[in-house]
């Protein structure tokens, strides 16, 4: 709210309501397109030594340097941490499933990111 000084003319603000749409709430079937995981390029380089065809020289060098922090163990890609622990690389749907299981399930209430990651590591 604001105070209007005497003698100042203010035009009223007219607001029109949009017409209601014919959209009806119902069950919507979603089609999930299979996508490659975020680490697909990295995995192909580590396992097969292949670069994507569209990579330039600088991008190939960056991929070589970036891949030094990753390891291919038992047909799975792991990221090496500074303390020697290997973290499994997972795709989006798997990550969502794990977070929902730990976050909402019998494991406890909502928590911040650090506590959530420690709990996921603890539960395996």
Are the beta carbons of 51 and 63 closer than 8 angstroms? Answer: yes
CA distance 38 to 44: 12
For residues 89 and 98, give the distance between their C-alpha atoms in angstroms, rounded to a whole number. Answer: 13
pLDDT in tens, 62-96: 999 999 999 999 999 999 888 888 888 988 888 88
Whole-prediction pTM:
0.58
Mean pLDDT (whole number) for 111-119? 72
Q: What pLDDT, on the 0 to 100 scale, is given for residue 86?
A: 87
pLDDT at residue 7, rounded to an integer? 81
Confidence (pLDDT) at 70: 93
Q: Give the C-alpha separation, 108 to 32, whole Å.
A: 30
Q: What is the pLDDT of residue 32?
A: 63
Amino acid 8: pLDDT = 80
Q: For the chain, what are the domain ranges? A: 36-89, 90-124
The per-residue pLDDT for range 9-32, each reduced to its tens digit, is: 877 777 777 666 655 555 555 556
């Amino acid at each position: 709210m604001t105070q209007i000084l005497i003698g100042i003319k203010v035009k009223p603000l007219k607001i029109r309501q949009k017409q209601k749409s014919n959209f009806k709430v119902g069950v919507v079937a979603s089609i999930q397109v299979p996508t490659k995981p975020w680490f697909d390029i990295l995995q192909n380089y580590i396992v097969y030594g292949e670069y994507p065809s569209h990579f330039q020289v600088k991008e190939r060098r960056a991929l070589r340097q970036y891949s030094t922090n990753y390891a291919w163990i038992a047909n799975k890609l792991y990221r090496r941490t500074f303390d020697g622990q290997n973290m499994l690389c997972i795709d989006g749907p798997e990550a969502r499933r794990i977070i929902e299981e730990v976050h909402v399930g019998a494991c406890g209430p909502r928590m911040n990111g650090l506590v959530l990651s420690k709990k996921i590591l603890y539960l395996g």
